[in-house]
Structure 1
């Protein structure tokens, strides 16, 4: 049996690789990157090329990986990125002869596509009596301006806060050109009471859960989590489980909720049908989602574990450090490390050498430089 970790050029894949490496021998792990990098070859043993820009190259590379393995050896697929998983679905459909060699815990493609489209997910929640922010259609905007309430203008598909705009006053609507790939949504509460629920499912049955509450984000409005705490939140556990049961979900799911302090209620904002950026915490707090996913894929009983809720996660470099600089050092307790209770993205479970190399790669890779310069 082999375990395939794709997109290892990504920071979350680096964390996943370090966790898998704690539980499985190096010879059982296949590391796959979408780009050929000498630095990555130093960080990872058994590094393979698995291009994800188009299906043709993806299929060619995955078949090459299979050809290098012993006949009949099973491969557990870990869903790191949405795009890669979509290509994987297509590969399974077009290659029925080798498809049985792959072991995984994934939802049906229909459910996967609902989850990755924020508009479709919102409609699905509403139809099934699950609270989600109200959708405001384009033809209601003129009426909305007269009795204005804040809105969120967001892309139907996309990762994190990319492309999201907050409409906090009527004048903000004047600068927007309605686009078919975007939609308007009710602004919930103050927009800051965000809580993440993390689920492991098998055909709609809950196999594992934990949650975390954001302490700091960067940027402050709609940004990524840079400091969070594990919490036990039975309300979002029940809401998310109900949604995922309706979808007959299998595998990992991260559901983002917003809390409305006035109405004392949680609203579902989005589902991430893949590994999330803070998945490192699932190992540190003993939820052990990565190992349990592998057990589920292998058809083994999923072992129970007691989650330690007195745990934290920090994305110290670069985002928390940038936040500290922007606030001119006015963050109380910023330099308290508390390694016993806090895990650090890109550092915990890694060696100093591999962390240093990965930071070097992340900062100076061609992909990162193009992103900073806005070059496609």
Structure 2
């Protein structure tokens, strides 16, 4: 039996992974940077270690004490930590090299790489300071626009403006101190499909892929999926492969696109260089990334054929994500909101948090939201 260590297990996206690993008969250990860990509180975790910050020798001691066979980072901080110290570990680590990770973490550099590969990106401007932005405001030839931090995840720091004249009004010193100068991008309308293509790579070789389409998100203007469905999109897969091949990728990643509703072209939004938020949908649909990690990273079996995953399977982050997404939607009437909350028609569906046999993570979901910095 192999023993897994998942780092940054406090996030809700990690919970379906932990449950899947445990149900597959493997040992699960966790490191969490929040006392109210959602993934770390699962009954499938043999031991959850709370750390205020990642410290190399402590992590090495945990690996040695529990005879860990493989380590999976679950968010940016742990990916950076493991990639930076990769030469200090004797056990198997599922992580990219630090240069590839840092390029993907920087949205501007990611877009520049994509453009060099003839991948369509949103029209984008970057200015180093407010004075430069003010001097070049006339060069922004699109509206509405989106302001995005060069380095962030989820919806943090994203601002939508109806015209370029609003940009200087919404950017202030507090924003710049927190996020730095943002990218100024053309807005791809919400009625264009949001498609994510997720991959497992091993030493620059693609092992497995999975596609999903976002149905609802929170906030409704743009954020993580609250309801998603498994699909197959060959075009998105090919573009994602081209990008990750150029990066000589290793480990997990998701490439995110919006489909331009006018031209029907896929437009690259970003690359998430880590475990993605809807990995539970992949596992539920039959794309067994955990099995693939075991076969490739631990057994060096590169020639295994994996069965095709199921399309039309749904995954729901019901509480509080999908509830808030529905309530705050401006496109649904009161009756449609009520129907979506009480009589959701999307089936078969797997819930990210809810599991009657594993209830402590439900409580920790609430506590984690309240004491996020604890």
Give the TM-score normalised by the residue count of structure 2: 0.85
Q: Please tell me whether the aligned partners of residues 3 and 68 of structure 2 are also in contact (alpha carbons under 8 angstroms).
A: yes
CA distance in 2, matches of 1:271, 1:144: 27
Cα 1:249–1:316 change in 2 (3 A) is same
Query: How far is 1:234 from its partner?
Result: 0.9
Choose from 173, 179, 197 the match for 2:167.
173
Give the TM-score normalised by the residue count of structure 1: 0.85
Cα 1:119–1:42 change in 2 (3 A) is closer
Tell me the residue number matched to 2:6: 5
Give the paired residue count: 353
What are the residue-to-residue correspondences of 1:162-241 with 2, within 5 Å? 162-175=156-169, 176-177=171-172, 179=176, 180-190=180-190, 192-241=192-241
Tell me the residue number matched to 1:322: 324
Task: Between 219-228 and 171-180, report the one with greater CA deviation.
Answer: 171-180
CA distance in 2, matches of 1:2, 1:107: 21
Matched, 1:258 2:258: yes
Q: Please tell me whether the aligned partners of residues 259 and 266 of structure 2 are also in contact (alpha carbons under 8 angstroms).
A: yes
Cα 1:137–1:305 change in 2 (3 A) is same
Task: Between 250-259 and 132-141, report the one with greater CA deviation.
Answer: 132-141
Runs of 4+ in 1 over 6 A off after TM superposition: none
RMSD, aligned CA = 2.6
Deviations 1:236-256 (A, max 9, x none): 011101111111112211111
Choose from 56, 60, 66 the match for 1:59.
56
What are the residue-to-residue correspondences of 1:345-364 with 2, within 5 Å? 345-347=352-354, 350=355, 352-355=356-359, 357-364=360-367
Tell me the residue number matched to 2:29: 30
Choose from 315, 324, 342 the match for 1:335.
342
CA distance in 1, matches of 2:310, 2:200: 17
CA distance in 1, matches of 2:365, 2:150: 28
Q: Please tell me whether the aligned partners of residues 34 and 52 of structure 2 are also in contact (alpha carbons under 8 angstroms).
A: no
Deviations 1:273-304 (A, max 9, x none): 11111111111111111221232211233441
* Unaligned runs of at least 5 residues, structure 1: none
Choose from 110, 115, 140 the match for 1:121.
110
* Unaligned runs of at least 5 residues, structure 2: none
Query: How far is 1:308 from its partner?
Result: 0.5
**Secondary structure at the counterpart of residue 354 of structure 1:** coil
Cα 1:173–1:325 change in 2 (3 A) is closer
Deviations 1:208-251 (A, max 9, x none): 11211111222221122111111111110111011111111122
Cα 1:52–1:120 change in 2 (3 A) is farther
Deviations 1:33-63 (A, max 9, x none): 224569956745422425263x5xx213213
CA distance in 1, matches of 2:160, 2:36: 38
Query: How far is 1:190 from its partner?
Result: 4.3
Cα 1:241–1:177 change in 2 (3 A) is same
Cα 1:46–1:74 change in 2 (3 A) is closer
Q: Please tell me whether the aligned partners of residues 192 and 222 of structure 1 are also in contact (alpha carbons under 8 angstroms).
A: no
Q: Please tell me whether the aligned partners of residues 316 and 345 of structure 1 are also in contact (alpha carbons under 8 angstroms).
A: yes
Q: Please tell me whether the aligned partners of residues 189 and 260 of structure 1 are also in contact (alpha carbons under 8 angstroms).
A: yes
Tell me the residue number matched to 1:136: 125
Query: How far is 1:125 from its partner?
Result: 0.9
